[in-house]
Amino acid sequence: MDELRKKRLTAAVAAVYRYLRSQEEHQLAMAAVSQPVSAPALGAADLWSASGRQAMMEMRRLLQLRVIR
């Protein structure tokens, strides 16, 4: 019975080791293939939406400080 446990433990450890090794190899392969992606340039619409978002956050801050009531 003790020998059977050792065999099972050895098989489990080997399976986990193989799985981790395959994951590492997959990550290395993906890193070698992937190209750096440049960030898209901000357009006029993005600036307008950012400005609107900033105004909303400012109004909320003023409401939280109870400046406007």
> pLDDT digit string (tens) for 10-22?
999 999 999 999 9
13-56 pLDDT, tens per residue? 999 999 999 999 998 888 877 766 666 665 666 777 788 888 88
Please check whether residue 4 is in contact with residue 12, taking contact to mean a CB–CB distance below 8 angstroms: no
Neighbours of 13 (CB within 10 A): 10
Domain boundaries, the chain: 1-35
CB 17 within 8 A of CB 23: no
User: Whole-model pTM?
Assistant: 0.44
State how far the Cα of 44 lies from the Cα of 34, in Å rounded to an integer: 30
